[in-house]
Chains A and B, each alone.
Chain A
């Protein structure tokens, strides 16, 4: 391939060239400095034009401002941690170990003690320490099994969890335990873990084989509390965190404070700070940004994201997100502080203004789709009311999608080839005193609803591909602004795919962490 062609392709996409082609490009540019200068100019102009025209590159100054604010917050957190560690160190200095006055007497004492206690050290205490309670049960949902030795039982509220207990939490269930110092650990559905007292340091130790564990850890003396997974060790002095373990990796999300994360194979540890995340794979630790949604992002068709204050609809043709807006009608307002949709008798509708016509772009996303998922974080203003929370193309004929509150219950309907007039699936009540993360996912023949990541309804009534007609996305009413619903909507994500239970759980947890609601 000619140097000219390599240059054109490199400018087109910096990651397009194969290693051999990159070698040829480097060699060619070294031999021809004029072409190197020309390529550099192309890259510079390419970026300047992108700065001018690309939607996601127009807010650079605001992005820098946000990064500086993040940096300031992180610095404050680190300063707090350093102060804590310094206080611990000072306490050690003020109470140093007492020097031994006479070394010979010390040796005699030690030898006699050893003879007298050797049997006890070898036989009895191991059993006693194993039988010691390390924590007590403060919450159980669903099916949980706790094993110790050969015995397995269902834990009870207030019951003790013994040292070296093996815990198996079934899918959709959870177990919360509390240590004597107030440290709380929640083991979510699908988790297998052991609770132990570390033999070397006496500190708290949680071995997580798989699943998801969230913890709020009280300040720990000495070596701290440790979470061991097949891939990594998280060491905690006092913070809130979540650990998710699958066959290939361990993900650590930190809500408060700082956690030291070490790979099991050694290497330099990583300090993960508040709102930070780190993935330990088979061979490396990789820091990453905590975000919502975290799973199936490539299948996102529409997103109203309160954390980055972004609303976008994906262009079906290019696959790229296009920024858009939800336009308020009547008494609806965008709460600037929380970036939430405040619905007090009005509604929002997705922009249909040319040239974007976001509603049309959204329709294109689902034209040939067989799957659909919705995540919405909402809080009704009243436990009982009539109104439509979210609708798609709801203007007379059967809507593509309707999520509504009908008295105390919420209902959901989705139009398909087989059900042009779809049945309303009853989702049950949703609390009016706190936000609820509702997830609904559809794949022909199966519709599942989750509240806060826990499956609540499953239906096989609806079948077939989506058979939708064009129409606007409206929040807090129908297409014409009728059937208003009162309440608050914080986040909305529409996916053109089914979400697996693990996707649902992870997205809910990420949202909670980002919203500062990751407590147990």
Chain B
């Protein structure tokens, strides 16, 4: 019993550690606001803890977690007003289809390590912009004021940086997981 429990705990910890960047990004990829992503993700892992021994052996944990995450995201949006809820549910449906039809590269493997490598390759200006946006959590309008720019220009610049990060990550992960 003790050994089995210990084994179970070890597996639970390992699953959380290895899947958490993907599951959090997966939840964000359904349109959940950034400040609530981790709350929803924590709920996902509480469900994993509760039903750990009921996951079918032939279902990979990440796939099971994504199913739970999808349901919890829908629950999250159900708490909003009716019109907003319908719009958000429509967006979830669109994003799920995009995920299923898109390439799997970013859904598997050491995505955080790939991101670290790609981040280091960014020009200093891009890293500075990311620091203002994500580390200092400044809104685009405030960044624009600091850099004598417009909010729209900042949004476009960030969009491009993220696109280049995505291309870099996809390429790196394809290299790591490829033949």
Instruction: Enumerate chain A interface residues (CB-CB to B < 8 A).
Output: 5, 7-15, 19, 22-23, 25-26, 29-30, 33, 36-55, 57, 60-61, 63-64, 67-68, 71, 315, 317-318, 320
Contacts and interface: CB of A to CB of B under 8 A. Distances in A.
Interface string B12-41: 000011001100111111111110011001
Contacts of B46: 64, 67-68, 71
B17 to A, nearest CB: 7
B150 interface: no
Contacts of A14: 31-34
B95 A36 contact: yes
B51 interface: no
Contacts of B106: 41, 44
Interface string B138-179: 111010000000001001101100110110010000000000
Nearest to B34: A50
A33 B97 contact: yes
A44 B83 CA distance: 25
A203 B2 CA distance: 47
Contacts of A53: 130-131, 134-135
Instruction: Summarize A's interface: helix, strand, loop or mixed.
Output: helix
B55 interface: no
B38 A61 contact: no
B111 interface: yes
A63 B42 contact: yes
B97 A54 contact: no
Given A49-B130, A49-B134, A40 B42 contact: no
29 contacts: A10-B31, A11-B155, A13-B139, A14-B31, A23-B87, A26-B90, A26-B94, A37-B102, A41-B102, A43-B28, A44-B28, A44-B166, A47-B29, A47-B34, A49-B162, A50-B134, A51-B21, A51-B112, A52-B116, A53-B131, A54-B134, A60-B38, A60-B42, A61-B17, A64-B16, A64-B42, A67-B43, A318-B136, A320-B138
Interface in B78-136: 83-84, 87, 90-91, 94-95, 97-99, 101-102, 106, 111-112, 115-116, 119, 130-131, 134-136
Contact of A61 (B20, B33, B119): B20
Contacts of A36: 94-95, 97-98
Contact of A46 (B28, B95, B142): B28
A8 B159 contact: yes
Q: Which 9 A-B pairs have the closest CB atoms?
A: A47-B28, A53-B134, A14-B33, A37-B98, A320-B137, A45-B162, A22-B87, A44-B25, A53-B135
B109 to A, nearest CB: 13
Contact of B112 (A26, A52, A317): A52
B172 to A, nearest CB: 13
Instruction: Tell me which of A13, A51, A317 has the highest count of chain B C-beta atoms within 10 A of its own C-beta.
Output: A51
Given A8-B159, A53-B134, A33 B34 contact: no
Interface residues of B, number: 62
Contacts of B42: 60, 63-64, 67
Nearest to A63: B42
B49 interface: yes
B179 to A, nearest CB: 24
A46 B31 CA distance: 11
Nearest to B49: A68
B137 A44 contact: no
Nearest to B32: A14
Contact of B101 (A29, A33, A43): A33
B54 interface: no
B89 to A, nearest CB: 10
B87 A26 contact: yes
Nearest to A54: B134
B127 to A, nearest CB: 10
A49 B97 contact: no
A13 B35 CA distance: 10
Contacts of B159: 7-8, 11, 42
Instruction: Tell me which of A8, A30, A63 has the highest count of chain B C-beta atoms within 10 A of its own C-beta.
Output: A8
A308 to B, nearest CB: 14
A60 B112 contact: no
A57 B46 CA distance: 18
A52 B137 CA distance: 13
Interface in B44-90: 45-46, 49-50, 83-84, 87, 90
A42 B49 CA distance: 30
Contacts of B115: 48-49, 52
Given A40-B95, A48-B21, A48-B25, A63 B130 contact: no
Contacts of B38: 57, 60, 63
B20 A60 contact: yes
A37 B101 contact: yes
Instruction: Tell me which of A26, A37, A44 has the highest count of chain B C-beta atoms within 10 A of its own C-beta.
Output: A44
Given A45-B25, A51-B112, 12 more contacts: A8-B152, A13-B139, A43-B28, A46-B28, A46-B34, A49-B134, A49-B162, A54-B137, A60-B42, A71-B46, A315-B136, A320-B138
